Amino acid sequence: MAPAADTRIKVGIVGGTGYTGVELLRLLSQHPNVELRAITSRKEDGMPVAEMFPSLRGRVNLKFQVPDSAGLEHCDVVFFATPHGVAMSQAQALLAAGVRIIDLAADFRLQDTAVFERWYKMPHACPDVLRESAYGLVELNRERVAAARVVGNPGCYPTTVLLGLAPLFQGDAPLIDTGHVIADCKSGVSGAGRKAEVATLFSEASDNFKAYGVMGHRHHPEISEQLKLLAGQPVGLTFTPHLVPMVRGMFSTLYMRILPSALDVDFQALYEQRYADEPFVDVMPAGSLPETRTVRASNFLRIAVHRPDGGDQLVVLVVQDNLVKGASGQAVQNMNLMFGLPETTGLGLIAVLP
């Protein structure tokens, strides 16, 4: 049952000094059903949030607190905008207090703990909580998210790749060669987080374009696990991320080979039908070329479907803001669903242009 219009969800944020943390604050401070109760930072304990982020002056009056004194157990939901490993260390105590959890890191994304431990170099602290958690890609997992106590918010790259491929795995007949799928993905520098690191310094990242993680990236197993669920079998994925010299934005180009039995399929119509009722997935008209600036600061993901020369190659272009639909906006979308609110609540922001 949906809550009354004046219902206030008491929200806490753990780790509010990074880019996903301040993005959560930007979105939640405008949300009509949210009461921001606590935001934590051990290093900045006692500092007003608006002192660190003047963009929030007059909108967020909280001070940073250490987690032990923040009263997180009195919240309805706690967002973790923290490094990997933090959410799982606090999950059981919060759940025992009746608090729901949305983790923007990887603690509750991968169901295979051995895979998690191999990629994140730490043991999983609460595999029992992991088993009950829901993977928070609403467009693929709506019912589970709505009923969940714990949600693992998807990674930014996986969001573009999974939503860009999902329509191809509906129905019984295969449409593409699942042994050879290529995801050529690019992200703005904010995807690396708010930290001092040589590779993301202005003089290093500006006027430059480079690939990274070619021999292995931690989002690869996340994408592969979800694709296997969608396809009912393992999918052969080549995933190559790149860093582009812009602050926000993500552009994923997906390449597939159409099977001979599916050459007559209208893929434009297939995508339009699959996402017709999705408020944040926009399938653009045939022939469109989406741009990252058309989604900047919004929770929208835009898709364009191409079939060069009408042949057997399918090219799908996907753009999103890596900090919004790729992270904090998607987390708020999950919260809305978990608390019976319309998914669009507080997320109707139009992209910033230019």
Rg (CA), the chain: 20
Helix (H) or strand (E) holding 152: strand 150-152
Position 349: which residue type?
A: L
Residue at which a domain ends, from 132, 149, 182: 132
Position 42: which residue type?
A: R
- Is residue 166 located within the same domain as residue 265? yes
- Is residue 65 located within the same domain as residue 106? yes
The reported pLDDT for the residue numbered 1 is 41
**Backbone torsions φ then ψ of 31, nearest 5 degrees:** -80, 125
Helix (H, G, I), strand (E, B) or coil at 80: strand
Rounded CA separation 199/196 (Å): 9
Is 75 a catalytic site residue?
Answer: no
- Is residue 200 located within the same domain as residue 256? yes
Summarised one tens digit per residue, pLDDT across range 194-205 is: 888 899 999 999
Q: What is the CATH number of the domain that holds 86?
A: 3.40.50.720
- Is residue 182 located within the same domain as residue 63? no
Confirm if 64 and 44 have CB atoms less than 8 A apart: yes
Asked, for residue 45, whether it belongs to a domain, the answer is yes
Whole domain around residue 124: which residue ranges?
9-132
- Is residue 104 located within the same domain as residue 190? no
Asked, for residue 344, whether it belongs to a domain, the answer is no
Rounded CA separation 42/25 (Å): 18
Asked, for residue 151, whether it belongs to a domain, the answer is no
- Is residue 255 located within the same domain as residue 119? no
Position 288: which residue type?
A: S
- Is residue 217 located within the same domain as residue 256? yes
Number of domains, the chain: 2
Rounded CA separation 314/39 (Å): 45
List per-residue pLDDT tens for the chain, 354 residues long: 444 455 799 999 999 899 999 999 999 999 999 999 999 999 999 999 999 999 999 999 999 999 989 999 999 999 999 999 999 999 999 999 999 999 999 999 999 999 999 999 999 999 999 999 999 999 999 999 999 999 999 999 999 999 999 999 988 889 999 999 999 999 999 998 888 889 999 999 999 999 999 999 999 999 999 999 999 999 999 999 999 999 999 999 999 999 999 999 999 999 999 999 999 999 999 999 999 999 999 999 999 999 999 999 999 999 999 999 999 999 999 999 999 999 999 999 999 999
pTM summary value = 0.96
Helix (H, G, I), strand (E, B) or coil at 202: helix
Asked, for residue 149, whether it belongs to a domain, the answer is no
Rounded CA separation 309/258 (Å): 13
Rounded CA separation 316/306 (Å): 6
Asked, for residue 340, whether it belongs to a domain, the answer is no
Asked, for residue 341, whether it belongs to a domain, the answer is no
